[in-house]
Chains A and B, each alone.
Chain A
Amino acid sequence: MSKGSGPERLLIGADSVPALPRHIKLRHDTARNRWMILAPERVLLPDPVALDILHLCDGQRSVAAIAKALAGQYAAPQERILTDVTNLLQDLADKGVIRA
């Protein structure tokens, strides 16, 4: 890829404000009684932790704010939560599931 033109990899940091793009659908599937992420030619199964994070990806909160909100729910140091949230969102961004 030539430098300076074209899209670049989205890098997730504490200040990123993640959201699901319009074509990614987080949906509760009644037939299977579980949450699914519908993406082009893919269905992803978020685990309960990933689901908690995705529900907070509203295009308003930053990654730091999401980690802070989760600190109330999870008994772990906030720094550790921030790292985990960042890593998970980076992985989803690389899969095209998250934009920021």
Chain B
Amino acid sequence: MSVAAELGTPTATGLGPPLGLLAELTHRCPLQCPYCSNPLNLERVDGELSTELWCDVLVQAAELGVLQLHLSGGEPTVRRDLAQIIAQAASLGLYSNLITAGVLLTRERLEDLAARGLDHVQISIQDGDASNADRIAHYAGGHSKKLEVARWTKALNLPLTLNAPIHRQNIASLPAIVELALSLGAERLEVAHVQYYGWALKNRQALMPTREQVLASAAFIAEARTRLKGVLVIDFVVPDYYARRPKPCMGGWGRGIITVTPSGRVLPCHAAQTIDGLVFDNVRDRPLREIWSTSAAFQAFRGTAWMREPCRSCEFRTLDWGGCRCQAFAFTGSAANADPACDKSGLHAAFLEVARAESGRPAEAFSFRRPRPDRRVD
């Protein structure tokens, strides 16, 4: 008798439907975290999809085979129509996950979202220590407000995940973060070492931990998982600058997740726009199913046909799918190269040296995540 196996990718070889839809409802956010995964060119409010278009996207997603809806941003609670979008998800049987900073919620509003069928709440925290958390998010009073929202979440009988991005300026607080998750009664804690795209790449020197810090964090999490078995599920995302094998980014390009940006662009990964030369379709122009199956951006790095050496003949090619295309592009200049996190990449040593050198110097000041003050030029 075997235990339920976790579903990684829908099928080993064929093109299954996506399991998850990441809906970036808006890029507006009151927080200014310097590791935000949104692009440096934040999308503007006047380009955002209407309520009707989002509701239609959900219908298309459910028909395509999506099971889970991740409502993200930016800060999704900025959208006044969030309750309508959640109600639509519930009516379609989509499992809805609200990924929020929390700071804009009232108890009444959260209660309304729960009544509309919201399945799960994920609240980001910046540190276990309130003053450092508020400094990192550049938002006074944010941390205590998040804790209040977390308590409402539990009081409303909604499942709670805390999500803590980890970097050199909060890594020492890892034990405090675990204690915080326990004291709030969270069912899950995501401890995710920052991944370096978008704003995090811009702030990499100020965020990169040392190898020793990374190893200590991994050892601490291993110990905490054992100690808290059956009490708190801890998901741990390791930083790949110190890794030997790359992560199977997104479970493989165009395999499991479909992302829709605030303006309706459809991406294989939320950072995909950092890769030059890719053209993204928009839900305003083409059906979601067609975009998933045939659009140029999804086809570009799907499967293994695009691979060069060392990926093409690698025994791990259908396990890690060559790692992350965005990181390959950012570091090697071509998204078709191996992810430099892989020790088979010719640039792996240089990649590791960047992490060593940057983590070895005192942290520079953050460039906080803000919309560009000038008119944006594309």
Q: Do A and B come from one complex?
A: yes
Hey, which bits of chain A sit against chain B, CB under 8 A?
1, 6-11, 21-23, 25, 27, 29, 31-32, 36-38, 40-47, 49-50, 84, 87-88, 91-97
CB neighbours (8 Å) of A44 from chain B are 4-7
**Quick one: CB contact mask for B3-31 with A, threshold 8 Å, 1 for yes?**
11111001000001101000000000000
Contact B67 A47, beta carbon cutoff 8 Å = no
Whether A9 touches B229, Cβ cut-off 8 Å, given contacts A43-B6, A45-B6, A49-B2, is: yes
Contact B229 A94, beta carbon cutoff 8 Å = yes
CB neighbours (8 Å) of A96 from chain B are 187-188, 233
Contact B4 A38, beta carbon cutoff 8 Å = no
Contact B231 A45, beta carbon cutoff 8 Å = no
Contact A38 B3, beta carbon cutoff 8 Å = no
Give me 4 other A-B pairs in contact (C-beta within 8 A), A1-B182, A46-B4, A88-B3 excluded: A27-B93, A31-B65, A37-B4, A41-B161
13 residue pairs from A and B, CB less than 8 Å apart: A7-B182, A7-B185, A7-B232, A9-B229, A31-B17, A32-B65, A40-B120, A40-B188, A41-B68, A47-B1, A49-B1, A50-B2, A88-B3
Contact A1 B3, beta carbon cutoff 8 Å = no
CB neighbours (8 Å) of B183 from chain A are 6
Number of contacting residues on B, CB 8 A?
39
CB of B300 within 8 A of chain A? no
- Top 10 nearest A-B pairs by Cβ distance? A9-B230, A31-B65, A44-B4, A23-B159, A38-B95, A46-B4, A40-B120, A84-B1, A94-B230, A43-B7
Q: How far is the CB of B164 from chain A (nearest CB, A)?
A: 14
Contact B161 A40, beta carbon cutoff 8 Å = yes
